Structure 1
Amino acid sequence: MAPLEPAPEPLVEPVAGGHVTLEGVTWRPFGRREPVLRDVSLTLPPGERVLLVGPSGSGKSTLLRAIAGLLETADAGELLGSVTVDGHAPGTRAGEVGLVLQEPGAGIVAATVGRDVAFGLENVGTPRADMPAAVTAALGAVGLAHPHDTPTSALSGGETQRLALAGALALHPSVLLLDEPTAMLDPGHAAQVRRSVAKVLASHPVTTVVVEHVLGPWVDLVERMLVLDGEGTLVADGPVGDVIREERERLLDMGIWVPGAPPPAPLTSSALASASLGAGPSPRRTQDVAATPMTVERTVRLLDGSTRTRTAAAVDIPLHPSPGSATALVGPSGSGKSTVLLALAGALEPATGSVTAGSDPVADLGTTALARRLGWVPQWSSSTILAGSVLDEVLVASRALGEETPERVALASRLLADLGLGHLQAADPRELSGGEQRRLAIASAVLHRPPLLLADEPTVGQDRHTWAAVVGLLAGYREAGGAVVVSTHDASLIERAHTVVTLEPPTQAPDPEPPRPVLAARAGPLALLLGAFAAIPAGIVPDHWRTSLVVFAVQAVLAVVALWAAPGSGPRPRGRLRRVTLRMLPGALGALSVGWSTWLLGGHDTTTAVTAALRVLVIVLPSAVLLPLVDPDRLGDHLAQRLRMPSRPVVALAAALQRVHTLGEVWSEIALARRVRGIGVDRRRPLALIRDLGTVTFGLLVRTLRMAADLAVAMDARGFASASRRTWFAPAPWRWADTLLVVGSLVPLVVAVLLTRA
């Protein structure tokens, strides 16, 4: 590997590394019979650089959370032993321990790149004037040269991983914990991240623990190696070179990727080799999903309510995976590999070109037809968990397709055993490690044996043994007649592909001149909230439908002024009427429901019923116009700086609202996971669509609760829990537009009072 050069200048002023001590740490999550960590005791002197290794599921990520003091932040379980950093419990001093999570997308706490990186700096009280330079330096250190106002929702998986690392580097803790920081990156960006870490460590005595399955790229950067076995027990500890040399055979037996050792031979899957396949279709039939050369676009909603459409992926050759073939999509992070897989799965429709199954667009297939044609392994496997146990998760598609038989259940058990998950059949799949969840997703995608498997980074997070099991399963699947399309950075997996398609980051046209903001968008979040709340008394005061109708008409006129008046230069904003109409639909349904129930229960009094319905519309309209313009980050700024509200609830509220903006994407992920496994919405059957809404909504609730737990961990990992003096990245001014909006929002209330008294 190329030598790692130290940085000429540090990101921030040097601080001493932390002294970490663990004594008898044991952790058993509730729902698991056996501990994940067993009686771990060790000491990390200040500034020591440590590589933590072990087979998949050995408790490496759990140990990092223990050092960060975050084990009980979102997870429930039994914790024994003690952990200290510089003699006190970890997490009691803001910014002391920085943790980059295994799934960095779960760690996004703000709506824009700059605010996300600055979150930790705010928690440790960094002066506002110093933050922009620190944010820029951290982003540059990981090679993420995006403007500070770039929406975090617009980043690829690899870019999100680098953003998480930038957030940790900007905070510059005394203990830095990195959980597979390069797992989702291409070799070039992975090397850049390692150089970034090396620069920081060369300038600062930071105690660092890195979890990685592949040791080679990191051995020159660390001094010490810790080894956990499959039972979560510390079995080796010493200088990295000595441990690799003295424990080489043992490490290989444990599945560790020891430098210089060739990849293991793929394991033959006994499940796929079995002749007892149940009643389901075999992948030996013709694979008919194909794509012409295509481009795929993604639309990102900006904070001002406008949208920006960019080319997310471009494929200049046709894709027609044939039975028994393996196609590898390769390219740097952000080149659109995951996007192409989503297009092949029918989740995204190409802007140019097409993806078809026979003569039909894949996107138009019913859920059963789609499940019979393909299986899908997502980039983040936790996003598609649908069942309460590992065995039930594998059987989801088979049950949906009416193929659950005793033979199929036995086949599922053998498949789990092949992938090293046989002992976890009764476990909650949400409690598995990242590598275990990925293998579970693969098993869930192939058990019903569709002719096409789409797998996004299927070997990430795997040790040698589980890698051999996954690659052997993919090979056995192809030998049985299935076609496989993978996105990957794994060189050994690429070598086994019949076709390699190299993608490059799409060339983007220059961003069009942004539309000039409408009047309402020029107001701050407090004014927008006050304007929406002012509608409540305006809806309650009128005692007759005529008064309510006049108030509603006044509101409509004000809405036109607020959304259509856009003084200044630049193009006029578009799509405002359509967006407001869509937002008003739930309110209109609510008004009809209230009016109908009032008429039914109020002696069929039409006047009272119409008045009640109009009251609902009066209350709802300003919210539909104004609330979508509220920026969660700016709302937190204004609540804390202008209203002097306590920072902890304010920041928690802003972070939670920021996640609300992602619920549409989460809904789409859940819907796709259900569709490709045969239990999703069949858009050609309206009644089935309605019945399915409740199920998807429940799934969204479960996923949202998990997101909230992950968000709590991410926030506390950057000093939120222990922040005693917090600063703010952005100011919170009150402008003339705020006063104008508040005064205007009171006009309907004044009209209602005057007409009621007349």
Structure 2
Amino acid sequence: MSEPGPPLVEARGWGWRHSTRKAWAVRGLDLRIEPGERVLLLGASGAGKSTLLAGLAGLLDPDESGGDEEGVLLIDGVQTRRARQEAVRDGHAVTGLLLQDPQAQTVLARCGDDVAFGLENHAVPETEIWPKVHKALDGVGFPYPVEHSTGQLSGGERQRLALAGVLALGPGLLLLDEPTAMLDPEGADQVRQTIATVLEMTGAGCILIEHRVEPWLPLIDRVVVLEPGGGVYADGPPGRVFAEQTDSLAAAGVWVPGNGGRSGAAGRVGVGKQVVAVGRSPLLTAQGLAARRPGQEQPPVRDVDLVVRAGRALAITGANGAGKSTLALALAGLTAPAAGKLTASDALAKGAGPDPHKWRAGQLVSRIGTVFQDPQHQFVAPTVEQELAVGPERVASQKKRLFGKANPATTSQIGGLLERLRLDHLARANPYTLSGGEQRRLSVATVLATAPDVLVLDEPTFGQDARTWAELAALLVELLGEGKAVVAATHDAELVELLAAHGEVVKL
């Protein structure tokens, strides 16, 4: 396959509005990125960063999606959709996009086949495909053989696999949407080094979205900051942009290097300050607990003993593939123990019985609320506002069957949650058109709407800017003070620090 050189990127008054949305995700964008430039794309959560990358990859089409487009977005002077089509026809990749949600890029059952899929679609000669597959997988530190099932991957492992699929194509422009957000620290370092090596060897350009800014600065030539729903807010060399715009960037939610960063945000919500919690009684007790996902023969989590207490936090950490999400699902009552026991206290069960995995849906959501690693897995309604009503309506239906009456959530209660999590302006938007950070906050809001006693959260701070991170962290501390139990599976070191000050840490 003939790999192209780095392309020129141009946006002239470009804008995109998602179908069903009144506000534009991006509008009035004027931008020129020279071939081979390495750009860090910043902006508040919801500023349109992921939308711009999707546009550059040629994935936004008004005729197919029903969205609205204005202005032009060009790759080497060619409209991006046509540039993508012509590249596939000619057997190469102009751009390579790593999506914010790596699961959306997993298409085949075996890991090696998944990486080979893009090469086959680009008509790469068969003799070249598997050497490229192995090189790409080795480059990102993928820990499994090519025949390993994609269905058995953790979120972080899936992210590495998706990145390998992008790198195997050898694109002239890498479009990376938070490539290390789900990786443990060692894995994140390895991926950064792999990307640095690829850029150095190929001269490819790169547009990177990443909230963890500081480790990427040695790779970056330029910083571009987007205004939500508007154009470019700041643009220039990293040192100058961060020095001249420190206050305004911090106010907009950008993690500014040397300005306290996540640790500063954590301090503002009370790391090291004990919460006056309402009670410390046990709610869930695990004894010799083993956990596995459906389809797994051997449980990756074994012999876990822990207690989830009212008003206390439990942070679950560990390397990618250690079983953090698997343990979280078991504690949430969504999978049955593979061995051992998980027992709910009478105070939590409220007559539903001691085994959470046997509870009916209406019983479960009012006792244990779960935020999945992929928030889209729990969206079922056409609007944000309706999504928040789903859980309370299910609880009300359960109460009506049992007691002949129900008290569903009121409009004011739903409105309060939307405002608290900065989603009120998106009440009538389709959840699937939200940014990754907005979807994460919506998934948290849907759990809070049913007022459960235990919250089980899988990577709850993924995709958040500095402002929304601090607000979400402060909300968790508040919930602890109200006597709720918070369980979080996470790689976010500052979140672990915060929760450890109000509970304990389990490392798998």
| CA deviation after TM superposition for structure 1 residue 110, in Å | 1.7
Letter in 2 for 1:459: T
TM-score by length of 2: 0.88
| Structure 2 equivalent of residue 343 of structure 1 | 330
Question: Alpha-carbon deviation of 1:319?
Answer: 1.9
**Equivalent residue number for residue 502 of structure 1:** 507
The alpha carbon displacement at 1:209 in A equals 0.5
Find the partner of 1:312 among 300, 303, 326.
Answer: 300
Q: Does structure 1 residue 75 correspond to structure 2 residue 65? A: yes
Q: Read off the aligned partner of 1:384 and give its amino acid letter.
A: Q
Q: CA RMSD in A?
A: 2.1
| Cα distance per residue 1:243-290 (max 9 Å; x no partner) | 11111111101100111222326888xxxxxxxxxxxxxx97955222
The Cα shift of 1:153 comes to: 1.0
Where does residue 264 of structure 1 map in the other structure?
A: 265
Percent sequence identity over aligned pairs: 41
Aligned to 1:66, the other structure's residue is in SS state helix
The runs of 4+ residues in structure 1 deviating greater than 6 Å are: none
8 A Cα contact 2:280 2:309, kept in partner:
no
> Residue 320 of structure 1: SS of its match in structure 2?
strand
Indicate yes or no: 2:71 matched with 1:66: no
Asked if the contact 1:266–1:472 (Cα under 8 Å) also holds between the matched residues in 2, the reply is no
Of 175, 182, 185, 2:183 maps to: 185
Residues 505-516 of structure 1 correspond to what in structure 2 (within 5 A)? none
Where does structure 2 lack aligned partners over 5 or more consecutive residues?
A: 270-277, 346-352, 400-405
In structure 2, distance between residues paired with 1:89 and 1:224 = 24
1:144-163 equivalence runs, <5 A: 144-163=142-161
The structure richer in strand per residue is 2
The separation in 2 between residues aligned to 1:495 and 1:285, in whole angstroms, is: 20
Distance in 2 separating the partners of 1:157 and 1:379: 7
C-alpha distance 156-406 of structure 1, shift in aligned 2 (>3 A): closer
Aligned length: 471
Separation in 2 of the partners of 1:243 and 1:209? Answer: 17
Taking a change above 3 Å as real, the CA distance of residues 291 and 406 of structure 1, as seen in their structure-2 partners, is closer
| Cα shift at 1:63 | 0.3
1: CA distance, partners of 2:206 / 2:407: 50
Gap regions ≥5 residues in structure 1: 1-11, 269-282, 301-307, 504-758
What corresponds to 2:425 in structure 1?
423
Partner residue, 1:393 = 387
Given that 2:4 and 2:94 are in contact with CA atoms closer than 8 Å, whether structure 1 keeps it comes out as no
Query: Structure 1 residue 154: deviation in Å?
Result: 1.5
Between 67-76 and 430-439, the greater mean CA deviation after superposition:
67-76
Q: Partners of 2:409 and 2:331 in 1: how far apart?
A: 31
2:46 is the counterpart of 1:57: yes
1:264 match: secondary structure: helix
Given that 2:392 and 2:409 are in contact with CA atoms closer than 8 Å, whether structure 1 keeps it comes out as no
Decide whether aligned partners of structure 1 residues 399 and 421 sit closer, same or farther in structure 2, where only a CA change above 3 A counts. Answer: same
List aligned pairs for 1:654-693, cutoff 5 A: none
| TM-score computed with the length of structure 1 as normaliser | 0.60
Q: Is the 8 A contact 1:328 1:500 kept in 2?
A: yes
Partner of 2:479: 477
Partner SS state of residue 176, structure 2: strand
Specify the alignment match of 2:140 in structure 1. Answer: 142
Q: Return closer, same or farther for 1:380/1:138 CA change in 2, 3 Å cut-off.
A: same
**Of 168, 171, 177, the match for 1:170:** 168
What is the aligned partner in structure 1 of residue 27 from structure 2?
38
CA gap of 1:240–1:329, structure 2 versus 1, over 3 A, is: same
1:365 aligns with 2:362: no
Q: Secondary structure at the match of 1:360?
A: coil
* CA distance in 2: counterparts of 1:77 and 1:172, whole angstroms: 30
SS at match of 1:353: strand
Higher helix proportion (structure 1 or 2): 1
Give me the whole-angstrom Cα distance separating, in 1, the residues matched to 2:229 and 2:68: 16
Cα gap change, 1:143 to 1:245, in 2 (>3 Å): same
Per-residue Cα deviation, 1:351-384 (whole angstroms, up to 9, x for no partner): 2211122362211122232222111000000110
Question: Which of 325, 334, 339 is the aligned partner of 2:312?
Answer: 325
SS at the partner of 1:445?
helix
The answer (yes or no) to whether the contact 1:214–1:256 under 8 Å persists in 2 is no
Per-residue Cα deviation, 1:405-436 (whole angstroms, up to 9, x for no partner): 69743122122111111111121212111111
- Equivalent of 2:378 in 380, 384, 388: 384
- What is the rounded CA distance, in whole Å, between the counterparts of 1:293 and 1:22 in structure 2? 57
Map of 1:677 onto structure 2:
none
Cα offsets for 1:175-231 (capped at 9, x unmatched) = 110111111111111111111100100101111101111211111111011101223
Equivalent of 1:197 in 184, 195, 198: 195
